Chains A and B, each alone.
Chain A
């Protein structure tokens, strides 16, 4: 975690594509988890994450607030998801694929949790992803987002409560099924 996003972005713009690796390393897990939550499939999420990162690289010069690289990345990923879903719909209309009924690959991932994170409002989601999927500490997040540490912990706290509430009905439902 030696350098800031701004540093690596400047290096990329300066003609050092290698430095984009640091940004990929930093955000790939968070991005993947976010996309997995929306797409409910690891392979699709990986494809979308890859496309998002490549698109981000070629559009770096358009990024105005370099501090907000990650939320910008999430924005791009949203568009990629929409495009891919549209493509997929088109394809499935032409030929209904057997793959649709295939169980999700990579069941070791906690998809209900990822899905729930994807439902959080943007600012809460970003914080959860940065903290637990990019491995940034609260003070690192505070520096990166230029947000007081107190605000970070309060937002995180609210995000926790929301997550817990959103997860609860699912848990109850699972309990019901077990009881039956």
Chain B
């Protein structure tokens, strides 16, 4: 290797990009040539200087400052747009009315005063969904409660989250029958109607609220979005966000950035009394101990039937996925008989009947879902079943409930995830993860079925053409 060749490869040598043989050649040339060695030293010094300077500048972190400024600007832009509208409207109302014309001066003063208060109240508190994710990371206790229309507790849960971000202790009270307490070592299932408690090693059986909390938060971080930053809840202005992974809307406390409402559950984060996570077995309860090392005991038939139902639920889903609707319907019937609160079993049972052309039975099963969880996808399914039965009015009523979500999916595809989950049981397995465009396309198919309208949207069309189709659907919905 001569000097010219050496210089040509010097940077690659310093950057360690050369293959061994070439690097050896450079090295042996450098060993013999003081000029090139000097050049190499200078280059290495310069490289060190560059790296050091890079490190020095890296000490400044602009991320939060930039991000907050973006949010603030965005917020101001939105507010500005909204505020101008509002003022013009107020002005028009005042000027159109003869009786109020006299009071115009006073009204203008009032508007000014309102404007000031409005600005004060709405001084942009920069908020991004990510702040909720961050706030969640400091949460140790979750307390969630759901009431029925009469104000009675339908479901109440307490969760303790450990330092590793996973659930460590848990309590779920679902009156009238089920109470579950997990103290970290043992899971106790209390069947109050049977006066029986079943004990498991916590490692063998765990109840969960939303599965791994980390994954749910990651979904929120990636796909969550602000729907409305000015919702009044209990006399306060709160944010409304969409949490696609939970298929639900949440209300966010602007101070703590934590959800105060998730779907139909109220959330709080106080430390519970000690007994909440303690397993206390009433004297008159039969104990079935399934923890390792416990004496095997005779188990009641209802308990094994319940466990069979768990297994059959999965088999039934596979039957449905593979198109064996007859088998699916039979298996799901068994499941709902033993686990009447299992909403997805009811839904897919309805779906199996729908596919079999048994629309009346399908309506009955979808109604159970609506009764249990009020799922918007169930309204669409029931509406379609009614339609097939020729019951147009009932069908329209159901579609009217489902349509806002369906239309919303066109702009925010993740809003369609729940429909997807409902229509394709394979989604549950993580086997089918539709892309945004597929979510839209499939929603358009549902919209066509429900409305009889046809606005073209097709994966094969250009983005421009598809944007036009989406706009046409939105127009139709707004003007219908």
Contact = CB atoms under 8 A, between A and B. Distances in A.
A18 B66 contact: no
A76 interface: no
Interface in B29-73: 42-43, 46-47, 49-54, 56-58, 60-63, 65-67, 69-71, 73
Contacts of A58: 70, 73
A24 interface: yes
11 contacts: A16-B223, A24-B62, A24-B63, A53-B62, A54-B70, A113-B50, A114-B57, A149-B17, A153-B12, A153-B17, A167-B46
A172 to B, nearest CB: 14
Given A24-B62, A50-B66, A160 B46 contact: yes
Interface string A144-162: 0000010001001100100
A93 interface: no
Contacts of B46: 160, 163-164, 167
Interface centre among B47, B54, B65, B69, by most A CB within 10 Å? B54
A109 B53 contact: yes
B424 interface: no
A18 B57 contact: no
B466 to A, nearest CB: 14
Interface in B70-89: 70-71, 73-74
B221 interface: yes
Nearest to A156: B11
B271 interface: no
Interface centre among A14, A24, A149, by most B CB within 10 Å? A24
A117 to B, nearest CB: 8
Interface range on chain B: under 10, 10 to 19, 20 to 34, or 35 or more?
35 or more
B10 interface: yes
Contacts of A156: 11, 15
Contacts of B63: 21, 24-25, 28
Interface stretch (A64-72, A77-85, A96-104, A128-136): A128-136
B225 interface: yes
Contacts of B53: 33, 109-110, 113-114, 132-133
Interface in B409-455: 412, 436
Contacts of B71: 17
B69 A18 contact: no
B129 interface: yes
B25 to A, nearest CB: 16
Interface centre among B42, B56, B71, B129, by most A CB within 10 Å? B56
B128 interface: yes
A50 B17 contact: no
Given A32-B62, A53-B62, A153-B12, A135 B54 contact: yes
Interface string A22-53: 00110011001100100000100010011001
Interface string B9-21: 0111001010000
Contacts of B412: 15
A165 B70 CA distance: 41
**Nearest 8 A/B pairs, CB to CB:** A157-B11, A132-B50, A110-B53, A29-B58, A133-B54, A132-B54, A33-B57, A53-B66
A24 B66 CA distance: 8
A54 B73 contact: yes
Contact of A17 (B52, B61, B128): B128
A16 B222 contact: yes
Nearest to B62: A28
Contacts of A42: 60
Given A20-B67, A28-B66, 10 more contacts: A15-B412, A16-B222, A17-B128, A24-B63, A109-B57, A110-B56, A133-B54, A153-B12, A153-B17, A167-B46
B130 interface: yes
Nearest to B411: A15
Contacts of B62: 24, 28, 32, 46, 49-50, 53
Instruction: Say what secondary structure dominates the interface of chain A.
Output: helix
B148 to A, nearest CB: 35
A179 interface: no
B434 to A, nearest CB: 16
Contacts of B15: 138, 153, 156
Contacts of B436: 14
A174 interface: no
Contacts of B61: 28
B156 to A, nearest CB: 33
Nearest to A137: B15
B60 A28 contact: yes
B411 to A, nearest CB: 9
B76 to A, nearest CB: 12
A151 to B, nearest CB: 12
A164 B42 CA distance: 8
Contacts of A133: 53-54, 57-58
Interface string A49-63: 110011001100000
A149 B69 CA distance: 38
A164 B128 CA distance: 45
A156 B8 CA distance: 11
A128 B477 CA distance: 54
Contacts of A110: 49, 52-53, 56
Given A29-B54, A138-B17, A156-B11, A21 B67 contact: yes
A153 B57 contact: no
Contacts of A25: 63
Nearest to B45: A164
A98 B103 CA distance: 53
Interface in A100-144: 108-110, 113-114, 128, 131-133, 135, 138
A32 B60 contact: yes
Contacts of A167: 46
A15 B396 CA distance: 33
Contacts of A138: 15, 17
A117 B129 CA distance: 38
